[in-house]
Chain A
Amino acid sequence: KQEVTQIPAALSVPEGENLVLNCSFTDSAIYNLQWFRQDPGKGLTSLLLIQSSQREQTSGRLNASLDKSSGRSTLYIAASQPGDSATYLCATGNTGKLIFGQGTTLQVKP
């Protein structure tokens, strides 16, 4: 059974700092991995999708990497801003069924 773990559970950084969020999964037989952002009380916003054949994806200040062999993915946020404050969720997919981690709650202080 796939299990997804995100460390740390919470993170507080000053504005402008580069940071890395970690995601690990137990079963490497994944179809894809998706990173989401969730603001309090809101739905999920898709940030990046990495297919199993890919190593990384980039969108603006965000870069996500995938290492299937070690069961790890990282989300790199460059030059963090207060507007980046949210909970970040990773989820592994297998034929459409996503298994989620518990998320990392990020606070970026001005």
Chain B
Amino acid sequence: ETGVTQTPRHLVMGMTNKKSLKCEQHLGHNAMYWYKQSAKKPLELMFVYSLEERVENNSVPSRFSPECPNSSHLFLHLHTLQPEDSALYLCASSQTGNEQFFGPGTRLTVL
């Protein structure tokens, strides 16, 4: 695998479910990011991890919980989501402050 990978690519979940999104980067970068892309809205930065420490939490509801166990892996744990949370969730990585590279995204649908 090269670049940034995300699994699953598609996810459908009920509002009471718990699920996790996974991101892995194979680029040797030290920063990882979660973005949300909703229809008709610009991409929104959710979380930033630099050297495995969370350095940005962009006023994201607590039903989204990120985890960065090492510099190559990033998770987004989902719990009691709402239908308006349905979106494309994109992961990215970079050397801090430099060009960001994105994964293919997870298309999430909350019923």
Residues of chain A touching chain B, judged by Cβ–Cβ distance below 8 Å, are: 4, 31-32, 34, 36, 41-46, 49, 89, 91, 93, 95-103
A51 nearest CB across to chain B (Å): 9
In the complex, what residue of chain B is closest to A91 when comparing beta carbons? B43
Tell which of B41, B100, B104 touches A98, judged by Cβ atoms closer than 8 Å.
B100
B100 touches A34 (CB 8 A): yes
Complex Cα gap A91–B107 (Å): 22
Shortest A57–chain B CB gap in Å is 11
- Minimal beta-carbon separation of B12 from chain A (angstroms): 15
The segment out of B13-21, B61-69, B75-83, B90-98 that lies at the interface is B90-98
Q: Indicate if B102 sits at the interface (CB-CB under 8 A).
A: yes
Q: B43, B97, B102: which contacts A96 (Cβ < 8 A)? A: B97
Interface of A is mostly: strand
Q: A42 — which chain B residues lie within 8 A by C-beta?
A: 104-105
Q: Smallest CB–CB gap between B58 and chain A, Å? A: 8
Q: Which residues of A contact B107 (CB under 8 A)?
A: 41
Whether B102 and A95, one on each chain, are in contact in the complex, defined by CB atoms closer than 8 angstroms, is: no
- In this complex, which of A43, A49, A101 has the most chain B Cβ atoms within 10 angstroms of its Cβ? A43
Q: Which residues of A contact B43 (CB under 8 A)?
A: 89, 91, 98, 100
